[in-house]
Amino acid sequence: MKFAVIGNPIDKSLSPQLHNILYEKLNISNCSFEKICLESNELDDFFNNDFSQFNGINVTIPFKGKVVKFLDIIDDEAKILGNVNCITKLNNMICGFNTDKHGFDMLLIKNGHKY
């Protein structure tokens, strides 16, 4: 299985190292994770040609809102926020999710903040 993070700048992203360490620790030998630096004008080409080789991608600055137009389905959080940070394929459809709010909510809860 093949995964990646897309963004620009992306050179300082630790996602590939972190994911590959997790794959190793969990004895998952058939996965890889890479980072891909794209320009805004390369998004169409990426989703039309390159995305098919990935099982899923993470999205970071500045593309979280720009990738929505390439998705068939987005989750409710992503609809509210207007952006996604995780994209996967499900039944031949490209699906986007936003996990940022969930992570933020868990941070608040873990630190005793109720909202």
**Catalytic (active-site) positions:** 64
Identity of the amino acid at 53: Q
Q: What is the DSSP secondary structure assignment for residue 68, as one 8-state letter?
A: G
Helix, strand, coil percentages (3-state) for the chain, rounded to 5, are 40, 25, 35
Residue with the two structure tokens 């903040």: 113
